[in-house]
Every structure is written in structure tokens, then in C-alpha cells.
Structure 1
Amino acid sequence: MKLSPAYLKWREDVVQEGRREMVENLLKVRFGSLDEVLAGVIPSMLQLPPEELTRLLLTLSREELLERFGGGSN
């Protein structure tokens, strides 16, 4: 059975949205809230492979994450 391009796109979007929600929730838990600055670097974070992203989210400070992903130091 061949899957349609529209279905594959929808599926990719759903997976990406779930990944984004996981990152948002992890940032909220680690730092108490998700401000505009942190939210602004999430698209850059999502470019990493899941294992690398998870490691960085669990080990880097807020400032280190912002520096690494281009959000400055606010």
C-alpha cells in the first residue's frame, strides 16, 4: 500500500508538533516558565537529532541554551 504525500506530510507535522510540545514542557519544568526568548529558540533546537537535543536540554543552563541556539542572554 502506497501512502499519499498528503498523509505523509500530515504525519510528519504531527510528529514534529509532539516533539515541540515535549521540548516546551521540558523547558517549563526545568526553568519554571517558557518566556518568549526560550520559545524563540525552539525551532533551532528541533533541528538536532532527538538524543542530542535531550542531552542538551537536560544538561545546559538557560543561558547556555540561549547562547547555543542564538537567543542571546536575556
Structure 2
Amino acid sequence: MRLAPLYQQERELAKLEGKLEGKLEGRLEGQRQVVENLLRVRFGSVDAQLSAIIEAILALPPEEFTPLLVQSSRQDLIARFSNN
């Protein structure tokens, strides 16, 4: 009968991990929306070239990628973040 508390503890831990994962995914999705919106405002739309660099941009912390998105040209962003 000592397994019941361990099982309950594992279930609670799994629930907490799920909640944390959901919060992280939500935060990342929010950051993705911010990046896409900034690109759309700056360049009119998010085409295939800009879409291709979003993941690389998101690898930076927001305090680094925000000024880059506001100040850099489209060509500079593509050159910096593309895998070519």
C-alpha cells in the first residue's frame, strides 16, 4: 500500500510538468506573434523569406531581437538569420 502515495506524487508531478510546458509553449507562441507582427508592420507582409528566419530570430531573447527587428533592414535580417 506504500505505492499509492508514490503514484499520487508522480501524477501530481506530471500535472505540474504539463502546466509548465503549456505556459512555456504559450509564451513562445506569444513571442512568435510579436516577431511576425513587427515584421508585418515593418515590411508590409511576412513572405517566405521572412517566415524562414523567424525560428532563428526567436532563438534570441526578446531584449535582443526587438531592437534588431525595429532597426534592421529586410536584407540585413535575412542575411543575418538565414542558413545560407
The answer, yes or no, to whether TM exceeds 0.5 is yes
Alignment-derived partner of residue 45 in structure 1: 57
Higher helix share: 2
* Residue of structure 1 equivalent to 2:82: 70
The answer for the alignment partner of 1:12 in structure 2 is: 24
Tell me the CA shift for residue 71 of structure 1: 5.8
Structure 2 CA distance for aligned equivalents of residues 71 and 54 of structure 1: 20
Aligned length: 71
Displaced runs of 4 or more, over 6 A: none
TM-score by length of 2: 0.79
**Matching of residue 35 in structure 1 with residue 39 in structure 2:** no
Name the CA distance, whole Å, in 2 between partners of 1:55 and 1:71: 21
Instruction: List runs of 5+ in structure 2 lacking aligned partners.
Output: 1-12
Question: Which letter does structure 2 place at the counterpart of 1:66?
Answer: I
Q: Secondary structure at the match of 1:41?
A: helix
Matched, 1:60 2:60: no
Identity %: 44
| Uncovered stretches (5+) of structure 1, i.e. residues with no partner | none
State the superposition RMSD in angstroms: 1.5
Q: Which deviates more from structure 2 when the two are superposed, residues 4-13 or residues 63-72?
A: 63-72
